[in-house]
Amino acid sequence: MKVKTFRSVSNIIIILMLTCMVLYIGTSSYEYAFSYQNDDVIYNGNKDANKVSIMINVYWGTEYIEDMLDILDKYNIKCTFFVGGQWVEKEPEMLKEIYNRGHEIGNHGYLHKDQEYLNYEQNYNEIYVNHELVKTTLGIDMNLFAPPSGSFNKATIDACKNLGYSTIMWSKDTIDWRDKDANLIYTRATTNINGGDFILAHPTENTLKALPLILEYYKLNNIIPTTVTECIK
């Protein structure tokens, strides 16, 4: 009986210790992430305006982009396309098409790496190489960087600053790359939408299906989708 009691007490102590560790780690991680939510990293635009921004991250999905552009044209909407360097090398004409239709072009790194695990030089190169590729193709200097997978560290932010970039995250994620469901994408892009929201999306078949419905919802609710730069103002 004493052995069983001892084991029970031991198990309770172990559970309490593990719980404290999890809470400590979780709190530390939260505080670490929260410390970046200031002028260094931008998660949303002007909350006092009725503008939002659809951010389209592009490393693949070229086959859906032209139809997406047609829908955006129909609604007279401009957004920000964050493009990856390897995609730019393969699809320079599509990049030109996006830009010529009046959309903002942002930097999404060259190799789609987890920037969090890169040192300063590696972070710098991921951003700089893609910057030069886009500049050679379009003749423009980008100044917005969206870290692939939302992965970044202090070296990422420092590299961005030194290259004249702002680090851009998001406030709403459609998770369209994973959940191939147009209704779900629509719901995530419209539920509890607020002024200044950055809505993350990708060129997928179901995002294409959901896009006109999303834009109709914004129109009916006096929400103006625009570029990230305009949304920040």
User: pLDDT value at position 225?
Assistant: 98
Q: What is the pLDDT of residues 194-225, one digit of tens each?
A: 999 999 999 999 999 999 999 999 999 999 99
What percentage of the chain carries pLDDT values higher than 90? 81
* pLDDT tens digits along 63-108: 999 999 999 999 999 999 999 999 999 999 999 999 999 999 999 9
61 and 157 fall within a common domain: yes
Does one domain contain both 181 and 117? yes
DSSP per-residue string spanning 40-88: TEE----TTSSEEEEEEEESS-HHHHHHHHHHHHHTT---EEEE-HHHH
Instruction: Say if residue 23 is in the same domain as residue 48.
Output: no
Q: Print the domain residue range for 18.
A: 1-35
Same domain, yes or no: 18 and 126: no
Do residues 132 and 206 both lie within one domain?
A: yes
Model's pTM, two decimal places? 0.83
List the alpha helices (DSSP H) in 91-227.
Answer: 92-100, 120-138, 154-162, 182-190, 205-220
Position 16 pLDDT exceeds 50: no
* Same domain membership, residue 180 and residue 96: yes
Residues 83, 21: one domain? Answer: no
**Whether residues 84 and 196 fall in one domain:** yes
Shared-domain flag, residues 49 and 27: no
Q: Looking at the structure, do residues 81 and 190 belong to the same domain, yes or no?
A: yes
Q: Say how many domains are in the chain.
A: 2
